[in-house]
Every structure is written in structure tokens, then in C-alpha cells.
Amino acid sequence: MQSVSKQGHSLHTRLDRLTPYLFILPFIISFFIFFVFPSLYSFVLSFYQYRGYGTASFIGLDNYIALFKYPTFWTAVYNTLFYWIVHIVPVMAISFLLAVAVNSRLTKWKAVYKPLIFLPQIMASVASALIFKIIFATRYGVINSLLGTQIFFLEDPVLMKWTVVALIIWRAVGWYFVIYLAGLTTISDEIQEAATIDGAGAGQRLWYITVPLMKPIFLFAFMMDTIGSLKIYNEPLLMFSTGMDAPTEVIPILSILTRNISGGNFGLASAVGWILFAMILLVSLLQYNLLKGGKQE
């Protein structure tokens, strides 16, 4: 009887251990079906020439070589890196300073400021692009009307990219404002009060207390923004597209991928996707090591 009791207890213990895995089993199955398998399939497909029908022909690295010889691909790489490098510091700085201001005890109407700052993030991308096209329009745009000039924001190849950056910044600030605001709430008021008693001013408390304690949040925010920025697609397309794709002057890497998918060249599209993945991985690792190094110091 005792051995039977022990066996029953052992079986019950095993079932208890398996229960958590049963709850996450649907996610695991979905993850493999909709992420792992398509990712592996696209990696294999990047070494083939495949039009979506018929037999796929193995061509080795030809898809990657063809991309590196394609001038528009390098234009897209430059544009994507430009959008990321130019916008990331303004977004992080504005978001953090707004979060500090709203989190301050001196700030009133916090319940009003929070949704207003976050509003661009939840606004439809099409509506946001339309607003910026009205602002930067050459003949009747808001900026040109105020300045009494005709600056070709939406036609000049250089200024076109800057209008995309302005749209990215406007939409991204609200998201990182919420992240920084959440991080600021984890900093104990006692630490700030102790620094105040010791004679530290507002600027000193911000630089020597708030910023060091927020470094893990900065790391998370910078990493998230980098990944999202290198996958940019909607903003250039909505601002400047007159058909199915953005013009070459502002084209990002993802547009090369969609062009090849719509053209039926699935092998080349898969190669674009994996090159973009390698870019994101490399930049993210470099950024992580730099920011983590600063944290350890």
C-alpha cells in the first residue's frame, strides 16, 4: 500500500510540474508554426530561384550577390541608416525630458498631458502622413505659408528624407515617453529627497541620480527604437508613394523586399530579409555592448 501511495504521489507531482507547460503549449505551437518554420523556410529559399510556382532552382549565393550589385539596394541601405541615425537622439532626448517634466511634483494636469503626448502614437499612420504632407506642402503648406517662401520639402531629394525623419520623431516620442515615465516611477522619492537635503539642485539630481538609475531603461528604449527604425516602411511609403512603392530617393530596405515579393521573386526577397536581419543583429549587438559598458562603469 505504501508503494502504491508513493507511486500516486510521484505521478501527481509529475502532473503538477507539467501543468505550466500545458498552459504555454498553444504559444509554443503557434511560435513554431508562424515564426520558426517560416524563418527557416525563407533562409533556405534565399539560396534558390523561385517564382511561387514550378520547381525551385538552387543558385547558391547568387541572390545575395545580385543584391550587392544592385545600386538601389545600397540607396535603400543608406536611407534606412540615415533615418535611424538622425532620429534616435532627438526622440530619446525629447521623450526623456517630457517624461521628467510630467513626472515632476510641480507639474499639474498630468492626466491631460499624458494622453496628449501619446496621441501621435495611436493615430493612424495614414492620417499622420496626411498631416505632414499638409504641413510641408510646397504651395499651400503650413511652413511655407508662415515663412512666405516656397521650400520644396516634398520634392527635393535631400529634404524629402528630412520630412520622413520629422514624421518618425513625431510618432515615436509618445511611445518612449511612456517607457521613460514608467522607469521614473521606479526611482524612490527618498533618494531624491536625500539629495535635496544634501544641497543638490534639480540639474544635479537629474544628472547624478536619475540618469544613472535610468540606464537599464535607456538600454531597452535604444534597442527597441533601433530594431523598429531599421524595419521602417510605412512612413516613406505614405509620404511619397504615388503607386505601390516609395520613390528611390527615400526608399528603405523593406521596400526592396516588397518589390520582389510583388514581382514573384521570392528567393531574392528572402535574401533581402536575411540581410536586414543581419544588419539589425549587428547594430543591436554593438549598441548593447556600448550602452552596457556605460552601465557597468
Domain with residue 241: its CATH number is: 1.10.3720.10
Indicate whether 27 and 94 sit together in one domain: no
Q: Which of 96-110, 118-132, 143-157, 241-255 is predicted least confidently?
A: 241-255
63 vs 52, residue with greater confidence: 63
Indicate whether 17 and 147 sit together in one domain: no
- Separation CA 160–CA 165 (nearest Å): 9
136 exposed, middle or buried (CB, 10 Å; 0-12, 13-18, 19+)? buried
Could you tell me if residue 193 is inside a domain?
Answer: yes
Instruction: State yes or no: pLDDT of 222 exceeds 80.
Output: yes
- Alpha-carbon distances, residue 126 vs 30, 123, 138, 191, 265 (angstroms): 31, 8, 20, 44, 28
70 vs 180, residue with greater confidence: 180
Q: Which of 29-38, 135-144, 256-265 is predicted least confidently?
A: 256-265
Q: Which of 29-33, 76-80, 217-221, 263-267 is predicted least confidently?
A: 263-267
Q: What is the pLDDT of residue 244?
A: 63
Indicate whether 8 and 94 sit together in one domain: no
- Separation CA 93–CA 257 (nearest Å): 32
Indicate whether 41 and 149 sit together in one domain: no
Could you tell me if residue 164 is inside a domain?
Answer: yes
Q: What is the pLDDT of residue 12?
A: 64
Instruction: State yes or no: pLDDT of 37 exceeds 90.
Output: yes
**Domain interval for residue 161:** 70-296
The confidence band for 294, taking pLDDT boundaries of 50, 70 and 90, is very low
Could you tell me if residue 59 is inside a domain?
Answer: no
Q: Roughly what angle, to the nearest 10 degrees, separates helices 157-184 and 215-230?
A: 150
Q: What is the pLDDT of residue 120?
A: 92
Instruction: State yes or no: pLDDT of 230 exceeds 60.
Output: yes
Could you tell me if residue 55 is inside a domain?
Answer: no
Q: Mean pLDDT throughout 111-140?
A: 91
Q: What is the pLDDT of residue 287?
A: 87
In tens, the pLDDT along 137-178 reads: 988 889 999 988 889 998 888 899 999 999 999 999 999 999
The confidence band for 292, taking pLDDT boundaries of 50, 70 and 90, is confident
Indicate whether 78 and 180 sit together in one domain: yes
Could you tell me if residue 114 is inside a domain?
Answer: yes
Query: How many domains are there within the chain?
Result: 2
Q: What percent of the chain has pLDDT over 70?
A: 92
Indicate whether 220 and 144 sit together in one domain: yes
Indicate whether 41 and 177 sit together in one domain: no
**pTM for this predicted structure:** 0.84
